Amino acid sequence: GAVVSQHPSWVICKSGTSVKIECRSLDFQATTMFWYRQFPKQSLMLMATSNEGSKATYEQGVEKDKFLINHASLTLSTLTVTSAHPEDSSFYICSARVPGQGDYGYTFGSGTRLTVV
């Protein structure tokens, strides 16, 4: 099946530093990837949609300059949390559209738990 590999699975960083999270599609080409944020006991909140080779589309209220998304190839998308602060601590999950599976074909990475201290 279509697999998305997400790294790291957890990261601790100091306030003010930047953190990069990677998502790779292992056995398919991901034209479109999605980045979500999830707070404890809450649902997934879509942050942005990225298409290979073009700028990401951010959801309302998401700071573009804080959450930098790059989708430079058909198998790799990255999310960089810049100048991280404790309130950015959360669980970040990427997802990709699986070719040929229509509007139900979304596969998810295993998530990254970010803790900013």
Distance between CA atoms of residues 56 and 63, nearest Å: 12
| Piece in contact with other proteins (CB under 8 A), picked from 13-21, 66-74, 80-88, 91-99 | 91-99
Q: Which of 14, 43, 60, 87 binds other proteins (CB under 8 A)?
A: 43
Structure tokens at 101: 């599976």
Residue 116 near residue 18, CB atoms below 8 Å: no
Task: Work out how close the CB of 114 gets to other proteins at its nearest, in angstroms, rounded to a whole number.
Answer: 12
Q: Please give the order of strands across the beta sheet that includes 67-73.
A: 4-7, 19-25, 76-81, 67-73
Task: Work out how close the CB of 22 gets to other proteins at its nearest, in angstroms, rounded to a whole number.
Answer: 14
Task: Work out how close the CB of 16 gets to other proteins at its nearest, in angstroms, rounded to a whole number.
Answer: 26
Structure tokens at 26: 């292992």
When asked if residue 90 is in the footprint of other proteins (CB under 8 A), the reply is no
Q: Which of 30, 47, 109, 116 binds other proteins (CB under 8 A)?
A: 109
When asked if residue 24 is in the footprint of other proteins (CB under 8 A), the reply is no
DSSP 9-58: SEEEE-TT--EEEEEEESSS--SEEEEEEE-TTS-EEEEEEEETTS--EE
Task: Work out how close the CB of 83 gets to other proteins at its nearest, in angstroms, rounded to a whole number.
Answer: 25
When asked if residue 78 is in the footprint of other proteins (CB under 8 A), the reply is no
